Structures are given as structure tokens and as C-alpha cells.
């Protein structure tokens, strides 16, 4: 009896060390392909003994998820892991602190397999504070192959060509552009036009350096002129539509094109559509590559189980197998440079090649619309003007003035 008691006491004392890793994960991956992608992480976490509590907050682009995050943090109950990216990582670090995951990063050699630009986004005062899952390219146009073939349309390489193709489609009674009227989707289209019409230098001056001259320039007026033209190519029901429903319109032949990051490709692939056969991908007209890196950060939490959960998640996220399978589903390419792309489709391979080339000549640029380039206040100020212009008859002159004013007020 005595020995049994002694043994069970020993077990009780030892118990905390065997606590299962646990994580509550806040994310916004709720479309078909997004859910399929995050499920890969959930599965791996469970296979490694973890208990996963899912906290999905629907809403493409993550605005609703970030609102939910703020509410949780304010109530003193931060989730253990959060989909967080770009400068928001450092903003949260400054505001509340974030867990230091440097031990995991160093043990697993992250510095050797991540491009410097990506690694920099994952650090807070030199320490690793986030783990990257992928690289999405934002500036893509997706086209319905059958419609384009029937109408004799090639993927446009200039915005004039895009407009000409759209006119042809309109005359044929086909909606040229599938778009969801949500602020972040308007911003997504806008930044591709800024890059396309202005070029990488202009994009950088306007949307990264926030140079008032660039914001008010004639070039920026041309960008708003093009946004007004694009507004004429969307269907009547575009307001509020989710991005994946816009993708479905292209898939189902209800519209010819969508301008959207390659998470749209995830939706095509999840529906068994084949690139080059059912749909086509091409960069939006112009030079340059707008990148959007998804990542997870970890708040400082009490409890060994949660801290173990954070370490396990960080390790799995950067695991070579996860980076491959996740990104095959998600439409993106791995953040790790040592994952073979043999099983990836041609759009992904093109994305990788362009990323290398554009990185070499300085035209690999962070997406403002997806929270990679600017802090929240500045990005929000720009998006408010872009969406107000898109949804009214505001002139391009007024738009650039408002843009410059709003950015100045946000500083």
C-alpha cells in the first residue's frame, strides 16, 4: 500500500511536466481552401500530442480577426497563438510584448532557410517573435480560360490592354471583373494599379515612404482614373461580396477576371480546377512583386501547457513538410527556401522565379493592402480614401488631396 501511495504521489508531482501542449489559435482562414490549409497545422499539432482550440474569425484579409484580437487582449485574455503579420507584429510587441521564440528558431536553424527580408519581419528587437508560413504574391490576375479563348483575349500586360479586353467582354455581355466590395479588396486592386502604372519606385515612394509629393502626384491621379474605369467593370452586386465568392464567379464562368492574391488559386485548386486548362494566372500589368507573408505570433501567457503549445506550434509551422503541404493547399509558396517545388503548379513556380528576380533588382515590395508595408494607422488612412473613392463619384483630384491629407493626419 505504502509503495502504491508513494508512486501515485510521485506521479502527481511529476504531472505538470507531462501536461499536453495546448494552444488556442486565432486566425481568419475560413474559406474552403483556407480551412483546408490550417487543418494541416491542426492535424500535425494533434499528432504531436497537442490540444488545439480553434478560434476562427471569418472575414478575408483579417480585419474582423484583428478586432477580435484587440478585444481579447483588452480583456486580459490573449489567445496563445495569433495569425499576425507585417509591422503589426512589432506594434503588438511594443504594446503588450510577445513571447520570445528564439530558442525554437535557433534550434531549428531558421536563419539558414529564410530570406533575410522575411526573417526581418519575424523579429522584435533582434529576437524571433513570429513564425512565417508562406509567401503569397498579391499582384495577380486570374482569368477564366474558356471565356478568354472564346473572346480571343490574351492575358493583359498593360492596363490599357486590360481595359480593352474588359470592353470586349462587356460587349459580349460578360462581367469583366469579379470583385468583392470590401475595403481590403478595393485596397488590393488599388495597390496593383499603383505598382503597375507607377512602377516599383513610385510604389515605394507612395505606399512605403508615404512621400506627400507621390501621394498627390499626377501619377496617383492616373491611378484613381484607372480605379474609376475598373469600377465600371464590376457587376451590380459587388458590394460586400467575399473574395472567395468573387473567385467562384471566375470559376463558374460568371466573370472573366479577378485581381487577387494567390490565395484565390487555393480556391481554384480546392475545386479541382487546373491552371492553364481551366484558369490562367498572370501578374497584374507592370513590373514588380508585391509580397504578403502570413505568420503566427504568440502572446506571453502563463501555464507550461500553453508555453509548450507555443513552442510546438512554432516548430511545426516552420517544418519542411508542413510548409509544403500547407502551401500546396493555400496557393502560396513556402517561406523556407529549401522546400522543393516539384509538386507545385506553374503559377507557384512562376511566383518563386519572379520573387528571386525581383528581389535581385529591388522590385520585391511589401503589400500595403495586406499589412506588410505600413503600420495600421497609415494603412487604414489610405484604404479609407481608396474605398470612399471607389464607392462614390469622387474625382481623382479630390482623391489624391484626401489621400495626402489622410496620411498626414495619421502620422
CB 325 within 8 A of CB 40: yes
Task: With both helix axes pointing from N to C terminus, report the angle between 183-203 and 376-390 in degrees, rounded to the nearest 10.
Answer: 110
Q: How far is the CB of 345 from ligand GAL (least distance, A)?
A: 17
- Residue whose CB is less far from ligand GAL, 325 or 404: 325
User: What residues between 82 and 141 interact with ligand GAL by CB under 6 A?
Assistant: 136
CB 82 within 8 A of CB 298: yes
> Pairing mode, if any, of strands 81-83 and 22-27?
parallel
Could you identify the residue written with the cell 501555464? 303
Instruction: Check binding of 62 to ligand GAL (CB under 6 A).
Output: yes
Q: How far is the CB of 26 from ligand GAL (least distance, A)?
A: 14
Which residues, other chains included, contact 47 with Cβ-Cβ below 8 Å and sequence gap of 6+?
Answer: none
Interacting span for ligand GAL (CB under 6 A) from 43-51, 58-66, 89-97, 200-208 = 58-66
Whole-number Å distance between alpha carbons of 284 and 141: 5
- Residue whose CB is less far from ligand GAL, 370 or 389: 370
3-state secondary structure of 84: coil
Interacting span for ligand GAL (CB under 6 A) from 42-50, 60-68, 147-155, 226-234 = 60-68
Q: How far is the CB of 76 from ligand GAL (least distance, A)?
A: 27
- Residue whose CB is less far from ligand GAL, 92 or 263: 263
Instruction: Check binding of 61 to ligand GAL (CB under 6 A).
Output: yes
Instruction: Check binding of 60 to ligand GAL (CB under 6 A).
Output: yes
The torsion angles phi and psi of 383, rounded to 5 degrees, stand at -60, -35
- Residue whose CB is less far from ligand GAL, 36 or 127: 36
Instruction: Check binding of 186 to ligand GAL (CB under 6 A).
Output: no
The torsion angles phi and psi of 54, rounded to 5 degrees, stand at -85, 135
Q: How far is the CB of 205 from ligand GAL (least distance, A)?
A: 24
Chain residue at closest Cβ approach to ligand GAL = 60
Q: How far is the CB of 236 from ligand GAL (least distance, A)?
A: 24
- Residue whose CB is less far from ligand GAL, 65 or 205: 65
Interacting span for ligand GAL (CB under 6 A) from 9-17, 55-63, 140-148, 194-202 = 55-63
Q: Considering only residues 34, 186, 191, 308, which one is a binding residue for ligand GAL as defined by CB under 6 A?
A: 34
For residue 104, with 0-12 CB atoms within 10 Å meaning exposed, 13-18 middle and 19 or more buried, which class applies?
buried
User: What residues between 281 and 320 interact with ligand GAL by CB under 6 A?
Assistant: 292, 294
CA triplet 334, 340, 346: central angle to 5 degrees?
80
# of chain residues touching ligand GAL (CB under 6 A): 11
Torsional sign, CA 56, 62, 63, 66? positive
Whole-number Å distance between alpha carbons of 184 and 370: 8
User: What residues between 346 and 385 interact with ligand GAL by CB under 6 A?
Assistant: 370
Task: With both helix axes pointing from N to C terminus, report the angle between 304-317 and 32-47 in degrees, rounded to the nearest 10.
Answer: 120
For residue 144, with 0-12 CB atoms within 10 Å meaning exposed, 13-18 middle and 19 or more buried, which class applies?
buried
* Positions that interact with ligand GAL (CB under 6 A): 28, 34, 60-62, 136, 243, 263, 292, 294, 370
Amino acid at each position: 500500500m505504502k509503495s502504491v501511495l508513494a508512486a501515485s504521489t510521485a506521479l502527481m508531482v511529476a504531472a505538470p511536466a507531462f501536461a499536453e501542449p495546448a494552444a488556442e489559435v486565432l486566425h481568419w482562414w475560413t474559406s474552403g481552401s483556407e480551412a483546408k490549409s490550417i487543418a494541416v497545422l491542426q492535424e500535425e499539432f494533434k499528432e504531436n500530442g497537442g490540444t488545439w482550440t480553434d478560434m476562427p474569425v471569418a472575414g478575408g484579409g483579417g480585419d474582423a480577426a484583428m478586432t477580435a484580437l484587440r478585444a481579447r487582449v483588452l480583456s486580459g485574455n490573449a489567445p496563445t497563438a495569433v495569425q499576425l503579420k507585417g509591422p503589426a507584429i512589432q506594434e503588438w510587441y511594443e504594446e503588450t510584448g510577445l513571447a520570445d521564440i528564439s530558442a525554437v528558431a535557433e534550434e531549428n536553424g531558421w536563419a539558414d532557410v529564410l530570406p533575410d527580408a522575411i526573417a526581418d519581419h519575424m523579429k522584435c528587437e533582434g529576437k524571433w517573435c513570429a513564425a512565417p508560413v508562406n509567401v503569397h504574391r498579391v499582384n495577380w490576375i486570374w482569368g477564366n480560360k474558356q471565356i478568354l479563348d472564346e473572346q480571343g483575349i490574351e492575358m493583359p500586360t498593360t492596363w490599357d490592354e486590360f481595359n480593352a479586353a474588359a470592353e470586349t467582354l462587356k460587349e459580349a455581355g460578360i462581367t469583366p471583373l469579379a470583385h468583392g466590395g470590401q475595403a481590403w479588396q478595393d485596397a488590393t486592386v488599388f495597390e496593383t494599379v499603383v505598382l503597375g502604372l507607377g512602377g516599383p519606385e513610385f510604389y515605394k515612394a507612395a505606399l512605403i515612404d508615404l512621400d506627400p509629393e507621390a501621394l498627390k502626384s499626377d501619377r496617383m491621379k492616373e491611378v484613381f482614373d484607372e480605379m474609376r474605369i475598373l469600377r465600371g467593370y464590376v457587376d451590380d452586386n459587388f458590394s460586400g461580396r467575399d473574395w472567395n465568392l468573387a473567385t467562384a464567379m471566375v470559376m463558374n464562368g460568371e466573370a472573366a477576371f479577378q485581381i487577387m492574391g494567390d490565395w484565390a488559386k487555393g480556391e481554384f485548386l480546392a475545386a479541382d480546377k487546373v491552371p492553364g486548362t481551366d484558369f490562367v494566372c498572370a501578374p497584374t500589368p507592370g513590373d514588380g512583386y508585391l509580397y504578403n507573408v502570413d505568420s503566427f505570433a504568440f502572446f506571453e501567457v502563463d501555464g507550461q501547457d500553453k508555453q509548450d503549445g507555443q513552442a510546438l506550434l512554432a516548430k511545426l509551422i516552420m517544418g519542411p513538410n508542413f510548409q509544403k503541404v500547407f502551401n500546396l493547399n493555400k496557393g502560396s509558396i513556402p517561406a523556407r527556401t529549401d522546400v522543393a517545388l516539384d509538386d507545385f503548379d506553374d503559377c507557384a513556380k512562376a511566383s518563386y522565379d519572379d520573387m528571386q528576380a525581383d528581389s535581385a533588382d529591388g522590385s520585391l515590395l511589401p503589400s500595403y493592402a495586406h499589412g506588410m508595408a505600413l503600420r495600421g494607422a497609415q494603412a487604414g488612412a489610405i484604404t479609407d480614401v481608396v474605398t470612399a473613392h471607389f464607392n462614390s463619384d469622387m474625382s481623382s483630384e479630390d482623391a489624391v488631396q484626401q489621400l495626402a491629407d489622410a496620411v498626414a493626419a495619421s502620422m
